[in-house]
Structure formats: structure tokens, C-alpha cells
Amino acid sequence: MARGITMGSFALDDVDRRILKEIIREGGVNLSDIASAIGVSKSTVHNRLKRMRDNNYLMGFFPLINSASLNRQVTAISLIRAKHGPEYAEELGKEIARIKGTWGVYFVMGQQDFVVLIRARSRNELSRIVNRLAKLKGVERSNTIMVLDILKEDPREAIRLD
């Protein structure tokens, strides 16, 4: 029996997993190349991808751009301690996520409540983003760490299917 991942009534089987692994490995969606690499027809790949999108398992494709070539050279991580109250995590999390320049917002356990990943064009822009974070109603305190050098950054690792 094929091993699969179930999401509600939608199940991901071995063919689906091989298609997704090939897309992640190649960094692109060429139906012919994927079909050839995993030994299925082009229409099978097309139909499987459509089914994954229709079931909200696959939300789309995005280009993997080298961050060094972007106009956002300043990367920072902000640790946020929140003022606790009813539904503070959801409400404050949404407010943080609306700030332009934040690209990852995580509600976490421990001494901090949120970890926020930030990309900015300059230190001045980073300062504006951090100040907006600190001024949010539910923020008790923030601690921002500026990244000096990116040693590894590969979003494909976060979605690896192994």
C-alpha cells in the first residue's frame, strides 16, 4: 500500500511526493522534465498538481531568488515579549504580520512570545520597522538582532518531504 500524507480527506501518495520532491530539487515546474525524471506522463504531473492546488495542499510556486541580489540587504531577527491578555497571540501576531518588511512571524514558547524575521533595504528602514514593532499596543518589549552574514538560507529545507 502506498505511504501517504493525509490532510482532511485529501491524501498525498508516493507519486505526489515524487512530483513535489522534483519541483523542490529543480526549483521549477517543467511538466516534461518532472514527468521524465519520475517516470510518469506529463498529463499525470499536470493532473496531480491541479488536484494538490484544488485541495489547498499546494498554494502556488514562487521563484527562489538569491537574497544577495535583492535590494533588501539588511536581515534581522526580532524577539518580542507580549503583554498577555485574551487572544493576544492571534491579535498581536496579525498586527506584526502587517508590517512591511516582516516575512516570518512565529508564535513561540519560552521567554519570548514571537520571533519575527525582517528584511530591510537599509539600517534606517530596519530602524523604522523595529520602532513600529515596539510601538504596537500588545508589545511589552523587543530585542532585535541584526544578521551580519547569511551562512545558509534555503526555504526548500522548510518544506522538504523526506
Q: Count Cβ atoms below 10 Å from residue 126 Cβ, excluding itself.
A: 21
Degrees, nearest 5: CA angle 72-76-78: 140
Domain boundaries in the chain? 5-54, 67-146
CATH of 5-54, one of 3.40.50.2300, 1.10.1270.20, 1.10.10.10, 3.60.20.10: 1.10.10.10
Query: pLDDT per residue over 55-101, tens digit each?
Result: 988 887 777 766 666 666 899 999 999 998 888 899 999 999 999 99
Residue 73 CB-density burial (10 A; 0-12 exposed, 13-18 middle, 19+ buried): middle
User: Lowest mean pLDDT: which of 2-11, 71-80, 103-112?
Assistant: 2-11
> What mean pLDDT is reported for the chain?
87
Query: pLDDT per residue over 67-77, tens digit each?
Result: 666 666 899 99
Residue 3 has pLDDT above 50, yes or no: no
Degrees, nearest 5: CA angle 146-152-153: 80
Alpha-carbon distance 66 to 153, whole Å?
Answer: 9
* pLDDT average, residue stretch 156-162: 70
**Range 67-146 has CATH code 3.30.70.580:** no
Backbone angles phi, psi at 16, to 5 degrees: -60, -45
- Relative to beta strand 74-82, strand 102-107 is unpaired
Alpha-carbon distance 147 to 132, whole Å?
Answer: 19
Query: pLDDT per residue over 17-28, tens digit each?
Result: 999 988 888 878
The answer to whether the predicted template modeling score (pTM) of the entire model surpasses 0.75 is no
Q: Is 14 within 8 Å of 3 (Cβ atoms)? A: yes
Beta-strand runs (E) in 8-157: 10-12, 74-82, 102-107, 114-120, 139-146
